[in-house]
Amino acid sequence: MIAESLYQELILEHYKHPQGRGLREPYDAEVHHVNPTCGDEVTMRVRLGDGGKVLDVSYDGQGCSISQAAASVLHELATGSTVGDSLAVVDEFTRLMQGRGQVEPDEDVLGDAVAFAGVAKYPARVKCALLAWMAFKDAVARSSA
């Protein structure tokens, strides 16, 4: 059954019990990203501190398990990290997602996000996984601007 590689336990856990969900104050930038092909959407806020520290990543949205779990995992990885480190994870995650299943993920960089490796084999679902991560990248760029 192929779907088993897609719906990893960790993804389902994050979908059922999203971490850090809900929009919080204060924040430096807010962005809203949508995936027009399937209607998934996410609103994301970032709060940055001294030394490029990511103080909070808060979000709300709706969509499939992949898109919503990806937002939850992102929250866990980015909050408390630095802008530099978190964007490095975004880059590695993007590389993995766009690798059509041919890319060997760097588990040290990705942490829990490695659970999404199976998504790369489903071109139609890659955008779901990337939605929140692209929103984060956008929000960071806006708050640093």
Residues 6-35 that bind another protein (CB under 8 A): 6-7, 12, 15-16
- Give CA–CA dist 142/33, Å, rounded: 14
Q: Which stretch binds another protein (CB under 8 A): 2-10, 42-50, 81-89, 91-99?
A: 2-10
Q: In angstroms, what is the C-alpha Rg of the chain? A: 14
Which residue number, 39 or 101, has a Cβ lying nearer to another protein?
Answer: 39
What are the helix (H) ranges across the chain? 3-6, 9-16, 65-78, 83-97, 107-110, 123-144
Q: What track of x and - describes contact with another protein for positions 123 through 142 (by CB under 8 A)?
A: --x--x--------------
Question: Contact at 8 Å (CB) between 99 and 120?
Answer: yes
Contacts of 87 (CB under 8 A, 6+ apart): 137, 140
Least distance (Å) between residue 41 CB and another protein:
8
Least distance (Å) between residue 39 CB and another protein:
4
Which stretches of the chain bind another protein, using CB under 8 A? 1-3, 6-7, 12, 15-16, 37-39, 62-66, 122, 125, 128
